[in-house]
C-alpha cells in the first residue's frame, strides 16, 4: 500500500488556474489577478480605484494587505505536494506610501523564504509602475497534510 497521494502539485494546480484565466471572487471584487507563478514565487497585479477607498479618500490598507497576503499564499501554495494545503498563521504589513485611484497599476511579488514540513515563511513587496515601494509584508503559514 502506498502513502503517495494522487493529484496535482500546488504549482500544477495554480498554473492550470492561470492558463484558463480562472480567478477567485476576491480578485474580481478588488480588481487584481495572478499574472505569474513559479515554484516559490507568485506575482499579482491590480489597479487600485475608488472601489477600494476608505473614508479619507485613499485606498484602504486592506487592499494592499490582500494583494500581499495573496502573493505570499500562492507562492507557498506553489511549493505544496499533492494532498497538502496551507493556512496563513500571521501576516505583518508595513505601509510605505498611500495609494489612490491615480496610483495606477500595482504589482505584488511574493517569495517563499523558508519551506519546512509544517511551517513556511514568505515575504512580499507591493510596488507601483515606477517600482516605488508601496507596502511590504512577511507571512508565516502552516503547511497541512491530508
62-85 per-position pLDDT tens digit: 999 999 999 999 999 999 999 999
- CA gap 49, 99 in Å, rounded: 9
- For a pLDDT cut of 70, what percent of the chain falls above it? 97
DSSP SS3 for 146: coil
CA-based nearest residue to 17, from 63, 89, 70:
70
pLDDT reading at 1 higher than 80:
no
More confident residue, 20 or 136: 136
Mean pLDDT, range 82-99, rounded to an integer: 97
List Cβ neighbours of 55 (8 Å cut-off, separation of 6 or more): none
pLDDT of res. 22: 80
Whole-model pTM: value is 0.93
Q: Cell 488556474 maps to which residue?
A: 17
CB atoms within 10 A of CB 93: 18
pLDDT of res. 2: 46
Amino acid at each position: 500500500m502506498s502513502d503517495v497521494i494522487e493529484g496535482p502539485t500546488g504549482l500544477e494546480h495554480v498554473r492550470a488556474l492561470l492558463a484558463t484565466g480562472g480567478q477567485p471572487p476576491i480578485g474580481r471584487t478588488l480588481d487584481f489577478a495572478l499574472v505569474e507563478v513559479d515554484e516559490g514565487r507568485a506575482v499579482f497585479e491590480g489597479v487600485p480605484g475608488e472601489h477600494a477607498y476608505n473614508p479619507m479618500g485613499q485606498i484602504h490598507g486592506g487592499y494592499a494587505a490582500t494583494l500581499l497576503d495573496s502573493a505570499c499564499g500562492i507562492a507557498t501554495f506553489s511549493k505544496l505536494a499533492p494532498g497538502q494545503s496551507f493556512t496563513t498563521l500571521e501576516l505583518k504589513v508595513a505601509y510605505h506610501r498611500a495609494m489612490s485611484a491615480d496610483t495606477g497599476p500595482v504589482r505584488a511579488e511574493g517569495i517563499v523564504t523558508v519551506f519546512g514540513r509544517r511551517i513556511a515563511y514568505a515575504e512580499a513587496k507591493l510596488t507601483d509602475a515606477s517600482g516605488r515601494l508601496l507596502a511590504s509584508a512577511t507571512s508565516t503559514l502552516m503547511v497541512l497534510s491530508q
